[in-house]
Amino acid sequence: KNTYQFFTEALNEQAIRRAQIEGALRKAIEQKEFVLNYQPQVDIQTGRLVGLEALLRWHSPIGHISPNEFIPIAEKTGCIVPIGEWVLKEACRQIKEWEKQGFPNVKVSVNVSARQFKDPEFILKVKTIIESYKVNPQYLEIEITETVMLNVEESLQVIDALKKLGVRMAIDDFGTGYSSLNLISNIEFDTLKIDKSLIDHVIDSQRNWSLMKAVISVGNSLSTHVIIEGIELQKQMELLKDYAVIGQGYYYSRPLPPDELVRHWDQRNALWKANH
Ligand code: C2E
Ligand code: MG
Ligand code: MG
């Protein structure tokens, strides 16, 4: 009304793809098309495995679609609520399974989106899942980004309730968005994850490196774990060796299906033992 718009073929194609994804997403849980892959989080100084991040993969009937494309659509349609619940259950099932196999006894972090966090039943769902899978809540970490916490007051209550359940909390993608110091001063979180965009330029930019050191020291002085996301190069890892930080990135390993992950780490540990 009172405006005009250009309708292009590209827009049309985009709308069709979106509608296709929306339709397929609705059936994806029922059709058992989702799996979780796990990416190692490694103590940079010792090389020890200290955690895993669960990352959603969709074997969709309409070809390869990355989480960066389908998660925002699932959020808009509300599908993310049942999907997120499936992710929590599957991660807890896997934690228990690994416990039985004697591997690897580290925390598993799960990404939770804003829409899930706002669900009034979220806390109850987490509690019920932990209880029904009988997992030690200390082995479960919930990753949230700043957008999840747009309403700080409300979010603080949810975070508080989650902490009371015994699960850990991580702030994801820190260094993008507002990266508010007010926010991190108000929240009792266990892990600060520094966004990949910062490590990407530490080698060629002195200013980035200074900033990285400052953010690490913020995390260290709050006594939280600091995870550097997206380490791809040995050079990046070496720069960080003098700091008490955890690394996550392709340099250590891509996200892997659970059985591959176990093989990869068993091999790595055997090599490590042979060399020490
Ligand atoms: P994120 O939580 O920040 O996860 C890290 C992303 O960086 C993952 O992408 C991981 O595969 C990728 N990554 C890790 N190391 C490297 C590296 O060295 N280089 C590069 N280029 N990338 C690296 P992925 O799996 O495609 O997921 C993208 C985003 O989708 C996640 O970002 C997260 O925000 C969202 N996501 C994934 N799984 C879930 C889920 O189960 N629930 C929700 N709500 N969101 C999810
Ligand atoms: Mg994450
Ligand atoms: Mg991240």
For 69-83, what is the mean pLDDT? 97
pTM for the model: 0.94
> pLDDT grade, residue 176 (50/70/90)?
confident
Whole-number Å distance, alpha carbon 56 to ligand 1 midpoint, is: 8
Say yes or no: CB of residue 227 within 6 Å of ligand 1.
no
Closest CA to 142 of 91, 182, 194, 99: 91
pLDDT band at 19 (very low <50, low <70, confident <90, very high): very high
- 142 C-alpha vs ligand 2 centroid, how far in Å? 9
Q: Which of 57, 64, 69, 71 is the best mutation target for the ligand 1 pocket, counting ligand atoms within 8 Å of the beta carbon and taking the most?
A: 71
Q: How far is the CA of 261 from the centre of ligand 3 (A)?
A: 20
Residue 84 pLDDT grade (very low, low, confident, very high; cuts 50, 70, 90): very high
Mutation choice for ligand 1 from 81, 111, 240, CB with most ligand atoms inside 8 A: 111
Ligand 1 lined by 249 (C-beta under 6 Å): yes
Judge if the beta carbon of residue 228 lies within 6 A of ligand 1.
no
Does 99 sit in the ligand 1 pocket, CB within 6 Å? no
pLDDT of residue 132 exceeding 70, the answer is yes
Ligand sitting nearest the alpha carbon of 90: 1
Q: What is the mean pLDDT of the chain?
A: 92
Separation in Å, CA 240 to CA 86, 223, 243:
36, 18, 6
Position 148 scores a pLDDT of 82
d(CA 24, CA 188): 38
pLDDT at 194: 96
* Buried-state track 241-251, b at ≥16 Cβ within 10 A, e below 16: eebebbbbbeb
